[in-house]
Amino acid sequence: MQDNFAFLKRLYNSFDPFRPLPAGDPAYVDCTEVRGDGDILVEVGREILLSNRMTCQLYAGHRGAGKSTELLRLQKHLDEQGCFVVYFAADEEDIDAEDAQYTDILLACTRHLLEALKDSASPNTLLNWLEERWQDLKDLALTEVSLKSLSVEAQISQFAKITANLRAEPSQRQKIREKVNPHTIKLIEALNQFIKDAKQHLPSGYSQLVLIADNLDRIVPIPQEDGRSNHDQIFLDRNEQLKALDCHLIYTVPISLLYSSQAANVANIYGNAQVLPMIMVQTPNNENYQRGINKVTELLQKRLTLIDPSLSIVDMFENREALEILCLMSGGHVRNLLLLMKEAIKYTNSLPIPTRALQRSLSELRNTYRNTVFANEWEALAKVYHSKQIENDQLYRGLLFNRCILEYRYLNEQGGSQVWYDIHPLIKGINEFQDTYNQLYPS
């Protein structure tokens, strides 16, 4: 029994849905062909490598679709091409996704550039900026120390405390912003002087500097009284500052921003944002798409192989039909796929995974989606399922952000990218959805 439990524990942890795969990880599966043929190395990477000027690009997709894994792959690719890449996941140490503003992002970018490049350039310009503000900021950094008495390393550490408190101390957050906001232009000037110096002293073999700010797509949309949102305030109102850093920039953005009334403005400011769609496991005609199902199965198989190369993912279930149900009900959403698999293992005492355990896993996630949808949203979901299209409306954007509506892409016969939408497959089994759909579209 102990050996069986030990194996189930290894199996359970191999399907961790919250760990992005580092570049070159043996569990990685290239899903380009079932995601509309999009490739971040081409669509984002070549823009950087071919451009004679500094670029600022947006990268979007549903949370949990695999953006971080793709960005880490891009980081490795750019590194091999002579780009010094500073990557950070903003919500891990720097911002609170429930309450984030532009100032938080600027301070986070400053901190990570400072920490990554302190050995390549003099940080004096940035530390001078900090020293000028220190009397106002030191209480907010929860310290009484004098900045002048500290070493450069310790001064950088004090800067990090401020950004850490932006995320961890809600009571301090607005106070920090109020102290920093009037001085952001000066901060950008100081940061660019630091970047300029750093680019001239990059380690051997590097000629470009790239900053990737990941997980900004998790910033929760907050509607404003004028009908706009905090997303508009960050990425549109502050676009000049976001683009002002003198290096190549990649920001992840909420997918809902690209389907707002501001979509044309976003494109005019940043160019076409690259989107990572779902893995297509069904066609727009609601038929199973075997190539996509095979890719999803491969995702599971790769992780199983790392535990025991002799095992087949098919043998992990009572029958092949159960495996196909798992693939379809994930909607091609990688995090949901792994989460469903992990939860099914949790309810398993011995292999193969009982179909009953899988159904329990599915019903629990289905209940999560039921609780996510408001009463006035069922009709919109029914319309999307029927038409495979979305409307330019706040209600639909909210459903995109919450992953109740998923985006898919494929190449049409002319080689163009065809975009379509569907509701998450688990929603189809919810009574409220079925009742609404039958009322709108009686058979």
Q: Give the up-direction half-sphere exposure of residue 303: CA atoms within 13 A in the CB hemisphere.
A: 21
Helices 378-387 and 431-440 meet at what angle, rounded to 10? 60
3: its two tokens: 């050996």
How far apart, in whole angstroms, are the C-alpha atoms of residue 103 and residue 241? Answer: 10
211-233 pLDDT per residue, tens? 999 999 999 988 877 778 889 99
Q: Tell me: the pLDDT tens digits for 78-96?
A: 999 999 999 999 999 889 9
**Residue 1 confidence class, pLDDT cut points 50, 70, 90:** very low
Q: Which tops the pLDDT comparison, 141 or 107?
A: 107
Give the pLDDT confidence score for residue 2 in this predicted structure: 43
Interval 342-369 mean pLDDT = 96
Taking Cα atoms as reference points, which of 103, 104, 157 lies closest to residue 127?
A: 157
pLDDT tens per residue, range 380-418: 999 999 999 998 888 999 999 999 999 999 998 888 889
DSSP string, 372-408: HS-GGGHHHHHHHHHHS---SSHHHHHHHHTTSEEEE
Q: What is the tens place of the pLDDT at every residue in 312-326?
A: 999 999 999 999 999
For residue 347, what pLDDT is reported?
95
Q: Cα separation of 401 and 7, whole Å? A: 36
When pLDDT is averaged across residues 321-346 and rounded to a whole number, the result is 97
pTM of the predicted model as reported, rounded to 2 decimal places: 0.93
Spatial CA neighbour of 380 closest among 332, 419, 427, 418: 427
pLDDT tens, position by position, 131-174: 887 777 766 655 556 666 677 788 788 778 878 877 888 888 88
pLDDT at res. 376: 96
The structure tokens listed for 56 are 């600022």
